[in-house]
Structure 1
């Protein structure tokens, strides 16, 4: 497994896997908030679903999404799957990840193996952010992988995924998603080649006026820039 390394700058602690690539971040004064833009974008499923029963993260990173969902969705089961045991240990020791309880389960396992053993239609929300040390492309991302993601999601289920790489990596993963899901959209590239996509088991009826209203509610409740997500989805729909 890649070695875990830690850095700090201007009050933010960063998780690395032995390289300069950032795998996650936590502001020390706000350990349960989402520090990185693309991590915030991974919450854009909130525009389309209110109270999921089961939220699953594939790839723990610095546990930002896991902590945020655990704190803000007290009626939801939260499962995080991480292949690197040292990442789990670092998150518990240095990134304020709570211990497991009846709602929170952090599992040391390969994400694909976990999906293959998970019951069909057992998850409402999947958040996928799987990268190794060099982070040139997702560590998992075959057609079989995305098919398994779709299999474990309910009919109303949603997936958000961080796709980091060049245009060829983006195109390949988006094509796999489109083959596995009923509808796929994505936000404009953020920085360093990140794009965040959202995939729907069942194609949604999109009302942008309603989405902007929902975005206002999300910002008020969670402090996230949800209107930017709606604007990005509008740009995607218009082909900008």
Structure 2
């Protein structure tokens, strides 16, 4: 696997510097002010840092299996644990099976040097993701679009959510982000870009996401058109 998965601007470590992370933030179109965000896969912490800074009313729980990644959190400016933010060192699949967290948004971005671990893309795992969401909760899964198993994995997500999902190619077209909704049909839930961005902490964050949320909104009007 040679795709870039994380990059950090040292002067602004919370900024999103990789295209697919901007696409994953498309969940704001469905849940603009989530009370509890879950994330499986910390990596360089790009999404975790952005959400912590830009969504001050949201609590965030991150699950990371690799202790070496957790140990580097200070070097990557990942926030310390507090009342709003927590990193748990555990297997993400096991965590969902043992817990009933009721996330408003659940972000899945778990990869190792061989790609996406089988435990994080099985039918059982996506069923557990569905069970871990609150009513009208949203699952967000980053997948490699060019991987031969991509159609199978996207279909598993759709099956777990009764077909209530939509696939959005990231701008660089090597990643695809699948959004799936528990509750209302996801294609009928999309807010305007202004509504989706209203809860962010500052204009810099809104500026970073505005164009990509607009692109996602356009695509959702006709999912058959390649974004």
| Structure 1 residue 60 displacement after superposition | 0.5
Q: 1:222 aligns with which of 196, 203, 206?
A: 206
| Structure 1 residue 231 displacement after superposition | 2.1
| Structure 1 residue 61 displacement after superposition | 1.3
Higher relative contact order (CA 8 A, sep 6+): 2
Equivalent residue of 2:223, what SS?
Answer: helix
| Structure 1 residue 51 displacement after superposition | 1.3
Q: Which has the higher strand share?
A: 1
1:232 alignment counterpart:
219
Structure 2 unaligned residues grouped into runs of 5+: none
Q: Deviations over 1:195-230 (max 9, x none)?
A: 01100011246277x534536757955221311221
| Structure 1 residue 118 displacement after superposition | 1.4
Equivalent residue of 1:125, what SS?
Answer: strand
| Structure 1 residue 33 displacement after superposition | 0.9
Q: Distance in 2 between matches of 1:142 and 1:207?
A: 27
Q: 1:128 aligns with which of 83, 104, 108?
A: 108
Equivalent residue of 1:97, what SS?
Answer: coil
Give yes or no for contact 1:138–1:163 (8 Å, CA) kept in 2.
Answer: no
Give yes or no for contact 1:138–1:164 (8 Å, CA) kept in 2.
Answer: no
Q: 1:50 aligns with which of 25, 28, 32?
A: 32
Equivalent residue of 2:220, what SS?
Answer: helix
Q: 2:182 aligns with which of 187, 198, 201?
A: 201
| Structure 1 residue 144 displacement after superposition | 0.1
Q: Distance in 2 between matches of 1:237 and 1:181?
A: 20
1:77 counterpart = 2:59: yes
Q: 2:83 aligns with which of 85, 102, 105?
A: 102
1:211 counterpart = 2:161: no
Length, aligned pairs only: 218
Q: Distance in 2 between matches of 1:71 and 1:187?
A: 25
| Structure 1 residue 77 displacement after superposition | 1.4
| Structure 1 residue 191 displacement after superposition | 3.2
Over 3 Å counting, the alpha-carbon distance change for 1:88 and 1:237 in structure 2 is same
